[in-house]
Amino acid sequence: MKKFLIIGGIVIVIGALVAVNLLKKEEGTEVTAEKVEKGTVIKKVTGSGQVEPAVEVKISANVSGKILKINAKEGDLVKDGDLLVELDREQYVASLQRAQSGLLSAIANEKKAASELERSKKLYGQKLISEAEYEAAVATFEAQKGSRQQMEASRDEARDQLSKTKLYSSMDGVVTKLNKEKGEMAIGATFQEDVIMIVSDLSVMESVIEVDENEVIDIAIGDTADVELDAFPDTTFRGYVSEIANSAVTTGLGTQEQVTNFEVTITIKNADKRFRPGMSTTVDIYTEREDNVLKVPIQCVTVREKKRLEKKKNVEDTEPEKEESAEDADKKVEVVFVVDGSNTVAKPVKLGISDDTHYAILEGLNEGDQVITGPFKAISKGLNSGDLVKLKKEEKNAY
């Protein structure tokens, strides 16, 4: 008897659970929804980088020498033509004097050779010297002339080297970096710069960011952008794309972590005077805009296999169904669930561009359709076309 009572109790509990589940199923899944409206969707590409001056000049020496004087420090305003750095010039003064002395000697030798050539020319005309002696006089004059020209070149070179011991600013700007101090050596080189200081034009600033190779193709010269600096919270600066690199910046080459980016330069229109080179930036580049287009929140869109979207045929329906291959039946399509009375209808949609919160809908929905916006778990996996749903009352939708 006791055994039958236990079994009976278990059956009652199971029956109660089944009844509760059936009641829940009849009530439907609780969801949130909102009406489809027209609006604007703006596609954007986001990247991070640093602020840099649009124009900067590196001041470096072309000749070697000890730095005797630096006439500007970091933050100083300088004008085009201002003397910035003076190098030790003693050895270059001596070189110029040596070249000038050699030139004077060469000029004297050339004059002597010219005089001898003139005398040889007269004697040769009077048949008093041979042709060979005359040609020797001509050759001597040409040699002395070449020597004089060579010494002139040496003098000009020495003069140029001496002039390079004084370094001048080639633009109006601000000294943004000072790499050397008075008393240090400047290593003069033609093909490798030994930068003493950097002068920058801070009136035009840029943000150079790196953009993924899959997104850079959407960016075009002239696209508008919003620039945010960590140093200026709650402030957005306007800009535009002024340059897109043709060469990639690749990290982790040949590994699974390989990343290929491209540098994109954004010129900032309303740059603040307090901007400093190297400040961190986050940039949103607006690449495409759709106005007066149907849009739905991003979380509304999910995917379903085509076979899950097929409606059950009524027994009375005599219209033959089109046969569909297994491959087509398993194919996934993008759908949005629309509330139809107390049921759902999964509508395949054609998506346009998207922003952070919404997709533009090109086909599949009508203005005023009530689309399901949550919960995410139900949209992504649980709901099917024809399921019962119950709208949850909520405050103003955040989307």
Rg (CA), the chain: 42
**Residue 56 pLDDT exceeds 60:** yes
**What does the pLDDT read at residue 194?**
86
pLDDT band at 309 (very low <50, low <70, confident <90, very high): low
pLDDT in tens, 68-92: 999 999 989 999 999 999 999 999 9
- Please, what's the b/e burial string for 308-338 (b: 16 or more CB within 10 A of its CB; e: otherwise)? ebeeeeeeeeeeeeeeeeeeeeeeeeebbbb
The structural domains of the chain, ordered by start, are 47-53+205-289 (2.40.30.170), 90-164 (1.10.287.470)
The Cα 223–Cα 52 span in angstroms is 19
**Residue 23 pLDDT exceeds 60:** no
The residue among 114 and 318 whose pLDDT is bigger is: 114
HEC per residue, 133-179: HHHHHHHHHHHHHHHHHHHHHHHHHHHHHHHCCEEECCCCEEEEEEC
How many CA within 13 A on the CB side of residue 150? Answer: 10
Number of other residues whose CB lies within 10 A of the CB of residue 253: 9
The Cα 37–Cα 349 span in angstroms is 15
**Residue 178 pLDDT exceeds 70:** yes
Residue 59 phi/psi, 5-degree rounding, is: -90, 115
- Give CA 301 to chain center in angstroms: 31
The Cα 113–Cα 322 span in angstroms is 110
- Can you tell me the mean pLDDT for 235-239? 93
The Cα 335–Cα 326 span in angstroms is 20
Residue 121 phi/psi, 5-degree rounding, is: -65, -40
* Residue type at position 188: G
Measured distance between the N- and C-terminal CA atoms of the chain, rounded to whole angstroms: 62
- Can you tell me the mean pLDDT for 272-280? 89
The strand pair at 29-35 and 389-391 is best described as parallel
The residue among 66 and 26 whose pLDDT is bigger is: 66
**What does the pLDDT read at residue 7?**
58
**What does the pLDDT read at residue 310?**
58
Q: Work out the mean pLDDT of the chain and round it to a whole number.
A: 85
**Of 29-33, 140-144, 319-323, which one has max mean pLDDT?**
140-144
pLDDT band at 182 (very low <50, low <70, confident <90, very high): very high
**Residue 193 pLDDT exceeds 50:** yes
Peptide bond into 320 cis (omega under 30): no
**What does the pLDDT read at residue 318?**
45
286 contacts: CB under 8 Å, gap ≥ 6: 42, 43, 44, 223, 224, 225, 226
Query: In 3D, which of 67, 154, 138 has the Cα closest to residue 103?
Result: 154
The residue among 126 and 321 whose pLDDT is bigger is: 126
Give the pair of three-digit tokens for residue 115.
């005089």
- Please, what's the b/e burial string for 115-153 (b: 16 or more CB within 10 A of its CB; e: otherwise)? eebeebeeebeeeebeeeebeebeebbeebeebbeebbe
